[in-house]
Amino acid sequence: MAKRKSYQDLLKELDMSRLPRHIGIIMDGNGRWAKKRFLPRLKGHIEGVKAVRKVMELGVELKLEYMTFYAFSTENWNRPKDEVQGLLRMLKERLIEEIPELNQHNIYVQFVGSRERLDPAYLEELYSIAAETHQNDGMIVNIAFNYGGRQEIVEALRRLASEKSPEEMKNLSAEQISDALWTSGQPDPDLIIRTSGEYRLSNFLLWQSAYAEIYITETLWPDFDKSEFAKALIEYQRRNRRFGGLSK
């Protein structure tokens, strides 16, 4: 059996001048990872946090600009109540634990998502914890929390409608909608990574991903390490990005 390449060896295959500016990651497979090991689903989510750390470490090493992690969707409220409560608790606890390392790596963390259905006090706690990284000017990490792409577009249009006249709304541009989204001011993702072999976006960055390259891997999220991340970047660089034009 061929020896598995280390991430350092894989990085040698990359053109560092053609790295994606913004990468979105749909972190799927925590529950299946736990089930395969006869463990509680929450254990899979805990292991998934470790994968986030590894990916962010490589992002810092490569000097990536933006990463967006799909942490909790607007549809995840349909999961069992104990799992949802465990996820909410774990998110806050892990974020508190990671603040020193985030600051050490100069990472700026922010939440993107809807405020609906969330306890305002809990949400303010999260924002306050994340604000401890807001003196940093390195890689920006978006945590897509209580996030849904359709909800994002709806809320953006509602906000624009409250600020603009009917005539202005008739002449609304794509740029104006982009500026009203939760990712306002950031470049659209160049690459979307989805783990666990599912072939769908699951309501993630729908507007922003219009021309993103999509990379699917069978690897379950807790097993997604620096080598797996490097493979995704290598595949991205093999793609011919046409943005609706003709092949070169």
Instruction: Give the pLDDT confidence of 108-165 residue by residue, as tens digits.
Output: 999 999 999 999 999 999 999 999 999 999 999 999 999 999 999 999 999 999 999 9
Share the mean pLDDT of the chain: 94
The set of catalytic residues is 28, 76
Higher pLDDT, 244 or 199: 199
Q: Whole-model pTM?
A: 0.93
Residue-wise pLDDT for 82-98, tens only, equals 999 999 999 999 999 99
Give, rounded to a whole angstrom, the gap between the first and last alpha carbons of the chain.
38
The mean pLDDT of 169-173, rounded to a whole number, is 96
pLDDT at 128: 96
The pLDDT, as a whole number, for residue 114 is: 95
Fold observed for domain 19-150+188-235: Undecaprenyl pyrophosphate synthetase (3.40.1180)
Q: What is the pLDDT of residue 248?
A: 55
Please check the confidence at residue 1 and state whether its pLDDT lies above 60. no
What separation in angstroms does the CA of 226 have from each of 55, 60, 205?
A: 6, 12, 23
DSSP the chain: -PPPPPHHHHHTTS-GGG--SEEEEE---HHHHHHHTT--HHHHHHHHHHHHHHHHHHHHHTT--EEEEEEEETTGGGS-HHHHHHHHHHHHHHHHHHHHHHHHTT-EEEEES--TTS-HHHHHHHHHHHGGGTT--S-EEEEEEEE-HHHHHHHHHHHHHHHS-HHHHHT--HHHHHHHSTTTTSPPPSEEEE-TT--S-TTSSTTTTTT-EEEE-SS-GGG--HHHHHHHHHHHHHS---TTS---
pLDDT of residue 240: 82
pLDDT per residue as tens digits for the range 16-72: 999 999 999 999 999 999 999 999 999 999 999 999 999 999 999 999 999 999 999
